[in-house]
Amino acid sequence: MTRFVHDATNTVDPLGDADKEADKATKHNRAKVGSGRPSSLLYTYGPGAIMDLSQFTIMPTGLDDWDRIWNRRDGVPQIRAPRLREVVGRMLQSRDVQLRPHPWQPKKSSLSSEGNDLGVPARVFPQWLRCTGCDMLGMLSQFDYHNTHPFRTDLACFEHGKCTGRTGDKTRRTARRSAVPARYLLACVNGHLDEFPYEEWVHHGKPCTQAQFPALKMVDRTAGKGASAVIGCASCGLRRPMNEAQGEAGKAKLPRCRGRHPHLDAFEPGGCRNETRLILVGASNLWFPATQSIIVMPESDEEQTGELANQIRVALGEKLAKYRDNLDLLRDLLDSAKVDVTALSDDDLSQAVTTASAPLASVEEQEAWLRDWDPVDLLVPEWRYLLKDPQGDHHGDPVSGLTLSKRDRDPDLQPEITRVLAVERLRKVNALVGYTRIDDMDRVGDLPQRLAPLTRTSRPAWTVATEDRGEGIFLQLDEQKVAAWERRILATDVWHAHRDAHSRNFYRRFSDTAKDVDPDTRLKPPRYWLVHTFAHVLIRGLAMTCGYSAASLSERLYAWPEADGRSAAAGLLICTTASDSDGTLGGLVQLSEPARLERVVTAALFRATRCSSDPICAMRKPQDPEDFLHGAACHCCVMASETSCERANRFLDRRFLIDLPGGSGLGFFGRAD
């Protein structure tokens, strides 16, 4: 069990600090310095990431520090998604984990004060800054913070109060000049991040011979061109360029990792001692979120019992084991804890109590589950529910918020599409379980070991989640035709070329510290390539008439062959969601009407037969030593924005969708003339 070393006096609590200043009768500036949307705080700027503000950078802290923010409210809101909560609990090894939104409250007007005491706590990071006037390189404490305008967040900055300018400047005079973050950091593959040791670097690991606290300078005239800066010591005159720390040769010159988690203000117990890598503040591989998401479906009896059991276990704590046989007393205790069990019979309550009292899984069982768990398991219940015809038009479930209507097939709609559902309302819940650095999730074979923590506790009580509402269109493909087509594709030279390219890609980019993994287990089957490509051309077609941009539409793919415990699937959900409580406006779901959908699908397939990069695109097939994970697909014809695609534009090939000019004959839908 991991326990982090942490000084509780360093807990980040801006308003708590302001209260202390108020008690001392000193003025404290509470002017806003930045904001972010819930989606960006989940996928781009979560705990441990670095967020750019106008003049400096910050790092959202671990979830432990968020508790002080939530404690300003009588109750903490939770997002109900039992199926997702169970998976997240297993991944975090915390059975009673809760899903909570970001600490935020809407305002009645722009000048009102609701929610001013809420927000995501963050600390300035990195804390080495460079003066833009004289190139002085120093710690945060050597600069002054300036923030006086409550409505100009871009003016908040750190300043060098007595900057004298650069040597040789004829107009040198003492003035206040802004400071910017020194952009170099050290990272390791286990998710640790540390400040770059500038003082040790310029002196080659030895103390300065002229000063106990040497004056450092960072001369950087070509910002944005890698490690181009030169670190100099004004006290002893030594200089050393940062490009010496780059590449394989530079690794040997860098110190070993100290195991630092700056978002937790803590170090890994026992240290880390991995090799470190030079990384820039704005690097794209600095922070990769590990998230799980579901479309919330109506809850089964088992899910309802499990959710109630969780509420009982959290509400009663140690009292559960003591009073589990006294149902009358339990009802009183639960009523005091605001857990409603009045509608339950004694038998149902007893069953829920029994479930709540079940012992925790052993460490070995948890590790086995993490090792064998397949993310497809989250999609299977959604697929099974969408296979059922709704009881009528606008059939809604009040708990999940899902509203479905069955659509008739237009006679001219492609026969390979067997069912259409209008998803008039849906609720999507996304939860953060951790993050990785340097390597993305799908490049890490030993993900549970490489996942960096969000809290200092080994069993977190909650994790942050977002809740989006929207609409969509669900299409189901003919399983028999898909299976026959898939068997044919598996024997083709095109598929063998994709398989070989995937192996090359996998071994070239796989994490050095990951366990041995068969690359074929990470290769998506042909039906996935088919459904994925179809989803992309549909997104392009729907965006032309639905009123939403293509970047606002996203895919949810159900494409897997038959396996133990689940039947085969071949279908897709194109949806658009928004974090606003009212969801979206209905422009997408209107296109599920038979005649409109037929026109959209026919036009999308026809446009897919031509690409402005043809014939190069249509004939593209990876050959050794190429390792790209797509075939006849490019940004001109198929590829979509990052917000739309769940696989970063991998596993796409138009020739699997329709017959391309040149006689490929592999298209599932045949000719699209």
472: enclosing H helix or E strand: strand 462-477
Which pLDDT score is estimated for 448?
64
- Convert the pLDDT of each residue in 227-275 to its tens digit: 688 999 999 999 999 989 988 888 889 999 999 999 999 998 888 888 9
- Judged on CB neighbours under 10 Å (0-12, 13-18, 19+), 327 is middle
- For the segment 375-384, the average pLDDT, to the nearest whole number, is 92
156-165, 171-180, 578-587 — which is least confidently predicted?
578-587
In the predicted structure, residue 26 carries a pLDDT above the cut 60 = no
Asked if the model's pLDDT at residue 19 lies above 70, the reply is no
Predicted confidence (pLDDT) at residue 590 exceeds the cutoff of 90: yes
Whole-number pLDDT of residue 11: 62
DSSP string, 211-231: -SSPPEEEE-SSTTSSS--EE
Q: Both tokens of residue 258?
A: 């100290």
- Complete DSSP assignment for 171-192: T---EEEEEEE--EEEE-TTS-
Binning pLDDT at 50, 70 and 90, where does residue 515 land? low
Identify the weakest region by mean pLDDT among 160-164, 320-324, 487-491: 320-324
Of 213-227, 415-429, 506-520, the one with minimum mean pLDDT is 506-520
Return the higher-pLDDT residue of 615 and 323: 615
- With a cut of 50, say whether residue 223 has pLDDT above it: yes
Nearest Cα residue to 178 out of 196, 155, 151: 155
* DSSP letters spanning 494-533: HHHHHHHHHHHHHHHHS-TTSPP--GGGGSPPHHHHHHHH
pLDDT of residue 1: 43
Query: Model confidence at 517, in pLDDT bands (50, 70, 90)?
Result: confident
pLDDT of residue 624: 92
**What average pLDDT does the segment 620-644 reach?**
93
Q: Which residues of 329-345 are buried (b: 16+ CB within 10 A; e: fewer)?
A: ebbebbeeeebebeebe
The percent of residues in the chain predicted with pLDDT above 90, rounded, is 55
Find all residues with CB under 8 Å of 254, minimum gap 6, and list them: 186, 245, 275, 276, 277, 278
Q: Is the pLDDT of residue 607 over 90?
A: yes
Q: What is the per-residue pLDDT across 382-397, written as a single tens digit (0 to 9) for each?
A: 999 999 999 888 999 9
Band of the pLDDT at 119, cuts 50, 70, 90?
Answer: confident
pLDDT tens-place string over residues 420-464: 999 999 999 999 999 999 887 665 455 567 789 999 988 899 999
Q: What are phi and psi of 166, to 5 degrees?
A: -90, 155
Query: What letter represents residue 333's amino acid?
Result: L
Distant-in-sequence, close-in-space partners of 385: CB < 8 Å, separation ≥ 6: 297, 298
Average pLDDT score over the chain: 87
Residues in contact with 615: Cβ distance below 8 Å, sequence separation at least 6, in sequence order: 661, 662
Lowest mean pLDDT across 6-20, 124-138, 331-345, 480-494 = 6-20
Report the b/e string of 47-59 with b at 16+ CB within 10 A.
Answer: bbbbbebebbbbb
Strand partners, 432: 291
Tokens 């609701």 locate to 114
Question: Which helix (H) or strand (E) covers residue 324, if one does?
Answer: none
Instruction: Provide the percentage of residues in the chain whose pLDDT is more than 70.
Output: 91
Instruction: Tell whether the model's pLDDT for residue 111 goes beyond 80.
Output: no
Q: Does residue 475 register a pLDDT over 60? A: yes
**Residues 6 or more apart whose Cβ sits within 8 Å of residue 670:** 658, 659
Place of tokens 């820039």: 280
Say what the pLDDT of residue 524 is: 94
Top pLDDT among 29 and 415 is at: 415
Over residues 31-38, the mean pLDDT reads 80
User: Can you give the pLDDT at residue 239?
Assistant: 93
Q: pTM value?
A: 0.89
Nearest alpha-carbon partner for 647 in 569, 555, 572, 578 = 555
Q: Alpha helix locations (H) across 246-359? A: 247-251, 301-316, 319-323, 327-336, 346-356
Of residues 147 and 27, more confidently modeled? 147
pLDDT of amino acid 652: 97
pLDDT at 514: 58
Angle between helices 346-356 and 327-336 (to 10 degrees): 70
287-303: pLDDT as tens digits: 999 999 999 999 888 88
CA–CA separation, 538 and 550 (whole Å): 10
Residue 8 has pLDDT above 60, yes or no: no
Q: Which one, of 473, 297, 479, lies nearest residue 382 by Cα? A: 297
Q: Tell me what pLDDT residue 579 has.
A: 79
Q: What is the pLDDT of residue 311?
A: 87
* The pLDDT value given to residue 314: 85
What does the pLDDT read at residue 72?
81
**pLDDT of 512:** 59
So what's the pLDDT on residue 444?
46
The predicted pLDDT at position 663 comes to 67
The whole-number pLDDT of residue 439 equals 80
Q: Give the pLDDT confidence of 543-552 residue by residue, as tens digits.
A: 999 989 999 9
70 pLDDT band (50/70/90 cuts)?
confident
Cα 498 to Cα 629: distance, rounded to the nearest angstrom: 7
Q: What is the pLDDT of residue 357?
A: 86
